[in-house]
Amino acid sequence: MRIIISGGGTGGHIYPAIAIANELKAIDPTIEILFVGAEGKMEMEKVPKAGYKIVGLPVVGIKRELTLENLAFPVKLGRSFMRAQQIIRDFKPNVAVGVGGYASGPLLLAASLKGIPTLIQEQNSYAGLTNKLLSRWAKTICVAYPGMDKFFPADKIITTGNPVRKDIQFAEQQREAGLPYFGLEPGRRTLLVIGGSQGARTLNETMEQGLSRFIEAGIQVVWQTGPQFIERARKAAADAGSPLVKPYDFIYEMDKAYGVAEVVVSRAGALSVSELCLVGKPAILVPFPAATDDHQTKNAMSLVEHNAALLIADRAARTELITATLALIDNPAQQQELSKNMLKLAKPDAGRQIAEAVLNLAEL
């Protein structure tokens, strides 16, 4: 059996795609899987690291502002569609899966026109443009949030939750291994700060200004900055003169990162929210305000409404986030309550459910 998985652009698309692939392989190790991504995007690096083959399309997104790059969009889209048709002819997939992002558009359209059944997986509470367009041809649509029938045909929807990597489910078991991995001291309280695969300026600048307060409180900080801010973060840590601050541009071993943390500060991307529910870590969420239809706030509110997380608006983060984080770290009872409620919202079988839906399509 041959399955194509397409999409990417951000970790929020890539890691669910890899999780689906891993579940398919767990069910049937003989399945052949090919990823299709966008040239120059992070999936071209991350997918091979996960052990899968990937080919790239020259597709790009449309910029919201008027730019010369937009003039190239229709040309690159046309080339990508022709390349996608060739990939379909060569690989002959039984099913094509789209996880959102530029590359899934031309690939799933090419598959649909060839009569190959397609499945799309929407991670967010507000559907992405590519998935909304593709839903017309998709046989099955897997979603993580209720109420998605305002974007997709109700009879195609399966509510599965978001698939995450298997290792995340066992994060607590990685605490002992995580301490030396990050160079942390046993017995000290630890904060994990994550701003998505590209980092988050608000979180980074707030941490930069507030590092001294964590150091004075004796709190260790594992700080994922994204590639653009890493040098500033390293300088801030060096200037603070303390070994308690550990900046990283990207953290591959997220199971260890969650394992060592008592409290997490994070953006509210769909993947981050799903991972936090699975590990049950007390969290303060700072939604990215420019996300389409403010969907990160909607993601965060799905936890806040169940007393499973705290929320601080991006505009208030620079004045409120450090104080709120220190207060939560100093409140074990509140941590326990948030953790208990978060675990109730976890969907640990999402990847398996989606993989089974893919295989059901292959049998049609």
Q: Residues annotated in the binding site for UDP-N-acetyl-alpha-D-glucosamine, as ranges?
A: 10-12, 124, 165, 197, 251, 270-275, 296
Q: Is 68 exposed, middle or buried (0-12, 13-18, 19+ CB in 10 A)?
A: exposed
For 91, phi and psi rounded to 5 degrees? -85, -30
CB atoms within 10 A of CB 311: 17
Residue 272 amino acid letter: S
What residues are designated binding site? 10-12, 124, 165, 197, 251, 270-275, 296
Q: Where would I find the beta strands (DSSP E) of the chain? A: 2-6, 32-38, 53-57, 95-98, 118-122, 140-143, 157-159, 190-194, 220-224, 245-248, 263-266, 283-285, 310-311
CA distance 97 to 358: 8
Lookup result for tokens 């608000």: 202
CA distance 358 to 19: 13
**If DSSP codes are grouped into helix, strand and coil, which group holds residue 267?**
coil
Q: Which of 358, 277, 360, 308 is nearest to 98 (CA)?
A: 358
With beta carbons less than 8 A apart as the criterion, state whether 19 and 163 touch. yes
Q: Which of 76, 111, 80 is nearest to 3 (CA)?
A: 111
CA distance 150 to 274: 22
For 243, phi and psi rounded to 5 degrees? -80, 5
To 5 degrees, how large is the angle CA 237–CA 238–CA 242? 70
Cα-Cα-Cα-Cα torsion 128, 129, 132, 138, nearest 10 degrees, comes to -90
Q: Which two tokens stand for residue 246?
A: 């550990």
